[in-house]
Amino acid sequence: MDLIEISCLLRDKCLLDPQKPIVVGVSGGPDSLCLLHLLHRLGYTVIAGHVNHQLRETAGHDEEQVKEVCRQWGIPLEIERVDVRSFAQNSHFSLEEGARILRYRSLMQFAAAHSAQALAVAHQADDQSETMLMHLLRGSGMSGLKGMQYRSFNPAFSLDIPIVRPLLQVSRTEIEAYCAENSIEFCQDETNSETKYFRNRIRHELIPVLENYNPQVRLHLEQTGQILAEENRFLEEAAQRAQKQVLLRQGEGFFLLSRERFLKLDIVLQRRILRNWMIELRGEIRDISFSVVEAGLSFAGEKNPVLVKPLLKSLFLASGEGQNLLLYREDADLGDLWPWLSEPSLPWRLSDEKVNLSRHWQIRCEIFAPGEITFDRDPQVACFDADSLSEQFELMPPAPGDRFAPFGMNGREMKVGDYFTNQHIPLLARGHWPILRAEGRVLWVAGLRQAEFARVSESTRRILKLSLLKID
């Protein structure tokens, strides 16, 4: 291993400052102990961080080993024990993915507690090429082929503490030689996880086969990985900028975007945006396959799309109001977007001051004498002749076959469903749209149009004013 080269790389690629603390993730294996030793030796201020996954019998021994090494080298050590098994079970992650999440979470907590400039982890060159092949074989497509970077951010764990990987171009052989030279006593790497097993097959079976085709294949994979990692970052930055342009509203479990602006984007950005949002809504990358993303793109591009397209279990894309698209999870809080009635039926009386439809929506009721109010065309407001109405009302979503005579159309009746269609109200929104009824008659499609019935006239003595309010 070339110490000069590593020194330059720490400064120029990892952007590390020798004066500021760095937390180093230390499993106890050769890679992480080599990294810890190197940084310490080159004068960096290091704090070791060990996360005990409590998965294997040797976990306790590894922890002791790390303690002993840090004591010998005089390096402060933080230890956290995590319960991977129950976390994985509750969150439906694999043990391996669960362990990864808890590990990074703890290490980042150490880093934050020490005001560290970075979290250093010990991925090396062989990891890089094996990971690329693994992703290629598993078909993780876009995100898979990119290699790891010397310095990057993982927003899932920290927005401001970078993850650095100084050993990315050092091979396993070089690391083992370094450990031997410096008498570093490391633990044996764990080999029982599913990925480790797959990775081991790649390392011991597949790479030798590929080396028959080209002895330089490892080097080529590393170089390709480095380029793709940077190109991926560049594309991701472009996608982030484009995301801001197309996003109209983001809420719990949904993204509402401008279909028109989305379709004007390059397909490369469309694909990444859709994929990013799908991952964000699902909370994980699993199942967001090539064909799921393509199905979303194809729906977005259709001239006469069906109203809702299921993309995955509990993930949908819908053509929203007007020229919009709505990407949402089954449990999305769509009441954030449209007037929303949570209950199947909600009775109220003329004397009630207000009625809550859902956590976002409320109807306020006031009685005025003629001359006390002026009328405007605000669709959020409806005014009736209170004396033409009964005292009992009901709020319900539209029922099949509902009809009403919209105000100002000379009493001509139409289906509420057709009215929604004319107003470009998405199907999704209709199922919970609050409709005010009295004595079986539709009085008000809340927020859109009141019925002709019980309209305020010159003989009206008491005016009932209803206002639909959004509470943000």
**Interacting residues with a copy of itself (CB under 8 A):** 136-139, 141-142, 144-145, 198, 201-202, 206, 209-210, 213-214, 216-217, 219-221, 223-224, 227-228, 230-231, 233-235, 238, 266-269, 271, 290-291
Q: Which is nearer to a copy of itself, 207 or 469 (CB)?
A: 207
Strands 346-349 and 449-450: unpaired
Q: What stretch of H or E contains 64?
A: helix 59-73
Planar angle of CA 119, 120, 126, nearest 5 degrees: 140
The residue type of 96 is: E
Q: Residue 310 CA to chain centroid, in angstroms? A: 18
Least distance between a copy of itself and beta carbon 295 (Å): 13
- For residues 221 and 425, which CB has a smaller minimum distance to a copy of itself in the complex? 221
What is d(CA 308, CA 77) in angstroms, rounded to the nearest whole number?
53
Q: 């709505």: which residue's tokens?
A: 326
d(C-alpha 308, C-alpha 305), whole Å = 8
Dihedral sign computed on CA atoms, order 23, 24, 28, 33: negative
Which DSSP letter does residue 196 get? H
Q: Look up residue 158 and give its two tokens.
A: 């920290």
Q: How far is the CB of 232 from a copy of itself (least distance, A)?
A: 8
CB of 151 to a copy of itself, least distance (A): 12
Residues 285, 258: contact at Cβ < 8 Å?
Answer: no
Query: Which residue lies nearer to a copy of itself by CB, 299 or 419?
Result: 299
The beta-strand segments (E) located in 12-67 are 22-25, 46-52
CB of 167 to a copy of itself, least distance (A): 19
The arrangement of strands across the sheet holding 308-312 comes to 247-251, 254-258, 324-329, 315-319, 308-312
Distance in Å, CB of 287 to a copy of itself, minimum: 15
Q: What's the closest the beta carbon of residue 132 comes to a copy of itself, in angstroms?
A: 9
Least Å from the CB of residue 95 to a copy of itself? 21
Report in angstroms how near the CB of residue 162 gets to a copy of itself at its nearest: 17
Question: In this complex, which beta carbon is closest to a copy of itself, that of residue 237 or of residue 418?
Answer: 237
Which residue, 291 or 459, is less far from a copy of itself as judged by CB? 291
For the CB of residue 208, give the shortest distance to a copy of itself in the complex, in Å.
Answer: 11
Q: Which is nearer to a copy of itself, 208 or 283 (by Cβ)?
A: 208
Q: State how far the alpha carbon of 269 is from the alpha carbons of 225, 232, 266, 293, 461, in Å.
A: 21, 12, 5, 12, 60
Q: Which of 180, 146, 163 is nearest to 34 (CA)?
A: 180
- Residue 342 sits at φ, ψ, to 5 deg, of -75, -35
Q: Which is nearer to a copy of itself, 231 or 252 (CB)?
A: 231
Residue nearer to a copy of itself on the CB measure, 105 or 201: 201
Of 222 and 336, which CB lies nearer to a copy of itself in the complex structure?
A: 222
